[in-house]
A and B are shown apart, each in its own frame.
Chain A
Amino acid sequence: MYPENFRYTKEHEWVLVEGGIGTIGITDHAQQELGDIVYVDLPKPGTRVEQGRSLGSVESVKAVSDIYSPVSGEVAEINPILADAPEKLNEDPHGAAWLVKIKLSAPGELPDLMSAADYQSYIGAEK
């Protein structure tokens, strides 16, 4: 369920690092909690982000949730499909519905994040 090569945050974001670029998304657990997603608010390319700080938000009908960046750096790309089809985030949160790609400024941050196994027990404990 939770890809081994991702790393995870307590706020239910994931990040996949490949060659200095971190692809960020929210976890399946998060999209379930949110319910039907109606809108995703993402930063513009070029925006600087910091680990642990909000870079945007995800909206369902009755709630808004901040997206906290798992890593620091600069926004390189945002996923174009979410503007017209926010529901993809419910369907494929770990794959097609990634949110942003960040050019990492501090790769040393990664060990702070959870492994798939740790995240699995974290959400198990939350329940």
Chain B
Amino acid sequence: MRYLPKSDSERRQMLDACGVESAEDLFAHLPEAVRLRRPLHLAPGISEYEIVDYFRERAGENADGYASFLGAGVYRHYRPVLVDAVVSRGEFLTSYTPYQAEISQGTLTTIFEFQTMICQLTGMDVANASMYDGSTAVPEAAMMAARITGRHRALAARSVHPEYREVLRTYALHQGMPVEEFGYVKDSGVIDLEELERKIDDQTAAVIVQSPNFFGVIDDVKAAAEIAHRHGALLVVVFTEAVSLGILEPPAGADIVAGELQSFAISPSYGGPYAGIIATREKFVRQMPGRLVGQTVDTHGNRAFCLTLSTREQHIRREKATSNICTNQALIALMATVFMTVYGKVGLRELALQNTAKAHYLAGKLKPAFTGKFFNEFVARVGNPEAVNKTLLKKKIIGGLPLGRFYPELADSMLVCATETTRRGEMDELSDALRAPAAEEVLA
């Protein structure tokens, strides 16, 4: 087998050196009761070409050559060719966690750059070396807020990604952290500040909002911060569309930012792997979960990087750790780092502006259901989204996400997204297929 680099004669030499007659003898000490005495019921190994064929066939059973207007937390963006060129290098792809600093300066340096860029992007003081994804960054942020404030309740906006809120609930349940929700304003789609004011109290550790929110609307983060802080709670701001930070103000007044970087050259890949981040203020750094890379010097005084503040982590603190996280998403974070490098200061802004232009062109034809300002996705009231999508599929178009499954009150609407990859022709087809309702009809 091509991955097993021993010849039979080498095996024989090694068995002899071990004083063992056959390889089976190496397992002789196992209790008979535990032994599997039949072959595994799995087909024999196949060649590379057959493996490719198998997966090509599976890919053929997925959407192929469809235009798509899906966003909702996973976005279609161009992946600069440099990204795969860099991450495919064996030195990055097949390297381990950089615990041994002397032979991991490549990984450590790129993580340090990553941490820096996330701070620049989000306006925070420190950022970690990535969490599993945006959805798990949210409960990690909530638990962080609980540790910092000594309080135990969380208040999450309904306009935070529904699946993110589900994950929050799963984790919070076992941390003795009740999670309550507050809604959005029917016309604008921004958070309902009055409801927030009513529900917040002196046991609230974290107020959690998303901007742009799940509906694509740019939310009232500043007002949420004011309310949270007035009650001694921390504000956690979530983002799912990282490209938005190329043009939108970073969240003002946020204490912790929890976000998803999938938009930065991470393939949608049917839901993962992605890369989440947590960024926060300097004073909270010791309560942050996840790996952190710090700058230091070696014995000759040369600048060097190493993992630091490890005492927060599981391998030292064990049951008192800030989190149980061990693996991070280093390779995925590297994709994002290369993406941010390719676009850079000016490019990322241009990219964000293109997204804005595309989505606003589409909105001009469809008429958004909410009046709030939006970035690259918005809610369109279409009557029967499932039926609409069925028609669109015949034209090889995947329409927006019907919202009824998450928001029963919006069962007549779909969430549509347009990015720099969306063609004008596709948007024209979409609006034709919907026979774009006139503004008056929608607002009636």
Contacts and interface: CB of A to CB of B under 8 A. Distances in A.
A59 interface: yes
Contacts of B286: 39
A64 B311 CA distance: 7
Nearest to A44: B150
Interface of B is mostly: helix
A62 interface: yes
15 contacts: A38-B311, A39-B286, A39-B311, A59-B311, A61-B310, A61-B311, A62-B310, A62-B311, A62-B316, A63-B311, A63-B316, A64-B311, A64-B316, A64-B317, A64-B320
Contacts of B316: 62-64
A62 B320 CA distance: 15
Interface of A is mostly: strand
Interface residues of A, number: 7
A8 B286 CA distance: 30
B396 to A, nearest CB: 57
Which of B286, B311, B316, B320 has most chain A Cβ within 10 Å?
B311
Interface in A28-81: 38-39, 59, 61-64
A12 B80 CA distance: 58
Interface in A79-110: none
Interface of B: 286, 310-311, 316-317, 320
Contacts, number: 15
A43 B130 CA distance: 30
8 A-B pairs closest in CB distance: A59-B311, A64-B311, A64-B317, A64-B316, A63-B316, A62-B316, A61-B310, A62-B310
Contacts of A59: 311
Given A62-B310, A62-B311, A64-B316, 8 more contacts: A39-B311, A59-B311, A61-B310, A62-B316, A63-B311, A63-B316, A64-B317, A64-B320
Which of A38, A62, A63, A64 has most chain B Cβ within 10 Å?
A64
Contacts of B311: 38-39, 59, 61-64
A61 B320 CA distance: 16
A64 B320 CA distance: 10
Contacts of B317: 64
A127 B310 CA distance: 29
Contacts of A39: 286, 311
Contacts of A38: 311
A39 B317 CA distance: 14
Nearest to B317: A64
B317 to A, nearest CB: 6
A64 B310 CA distance: 10
B295 to A, nearest CB: 15
